[in-house]
């Protein structure tokens, strides 16, 4: 690693819900600096969630993030000329980042609807414990479980 690590930047909460996690999710959705488009997608998505589930969309969003967040993941480690997949516990910030990334990827994989509708469906499915993002989490956990024998390399 060269130089010093980039500083953690404080972000402002989103304008409608005043929630930092929603603001971070908006920033993950954003492409090419077009934040208003990302906000429109998220707020339309939240309106769809409210309409479909009759619940507070932030509650559904937080439950989806919590369900999809991985507890362990594998990282490659080179030991004596061999590469091992070593299971590691996931830090809290990375859990949120991975959950957002997987939800977005699962929503992008669906075709034929607007992004807000696809994202709303994926968030509702994830909150129930279903969908593409949950499948990704299960795969990551299964991989970590399969490589549990190499956990002593984590030190």
φ, ψ of residue 78 to 5 degrees: the values are: -90, 120
Residue 116 sits in a domain of what CATH number? Answer: 1.10.455.10
Q: What is the tally of structural domains in the chain?
A: 1
Residue 4, domain member (yes or no): no
Burial of 28 (0-12, 13-18, 19+ CB in 10 A): middle
Query: What pLDDT, on a 0 to 100 scale, did the predictor assign at position 151?
Result: 86
| Chain position carrying tokens 């937080």 | 62
Q: What is the pLDDT of residue 17?
A: 94
Whether 133 maps to a domain, the answer reads yes
**pLDDT by residue for the chain (155 residues), tens digit each?**
789 999 989 999 999 999 999 999 999 999 999 999 999 999 999 999 999 999 999 999 999 999 999 999 999 999 889 998 999 999 999 999 999 999 999 999 999 999 999 999 999 999 999 999 999 999 999 999 998 888 888 77
Whether 148 and 76 have beta carbons less than 8 Å apart is answered as no
Does residue 6 form part of some domain? no
* Predicted local distance difference test score (pLDDT) of residue 79: 87
Q: Is residue 3, in this structure, part of any structural domain at all?
A: no
Query: Residue 148: what pLDDT?
Result: 87
Domain span at residue 45 reads 20-154
Question: What per-residue confidence (pLDDT) applies to 150?
Answer: 85
Q: Looking at residue 153, what is its pLDDT? A: 82
Q: Please name the residue that has the structure tokens 């929503």.
A: 107
């Amino acid at each position: 690693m060269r130089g010093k690590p980039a500083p953690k930047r404080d972000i402002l909460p989103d304008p409608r819900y005043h929630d930092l996690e929603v603001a971070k999710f908006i920033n993950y959705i954003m492409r090419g600096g077009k934040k208003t488009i990302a906000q429109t997608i998220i707020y339309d998505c939240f309106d769809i969630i409210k309409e479909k589930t009759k619940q507070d969309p932030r509650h559904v969003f937080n439950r989806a993030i919590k369900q999809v967040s991985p507890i362990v993941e594998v990282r490659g480690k080179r030991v004596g000329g061999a590469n091992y997949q070593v299971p590691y516990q996931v830090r809290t910030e990375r859990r949120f980042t991975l959950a957002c990334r997987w939800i977005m990827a699962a929503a992008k994989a669906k075709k034929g609807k607007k992004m807000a509708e696809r994202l709303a469906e994926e968030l509702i499915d994830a909150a129930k414990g279903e969908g593409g993002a949950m499948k990704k989490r299960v795969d990551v956990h299964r991989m970590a479980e399969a490589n549990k024998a190499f956990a002593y390399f984590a030190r």
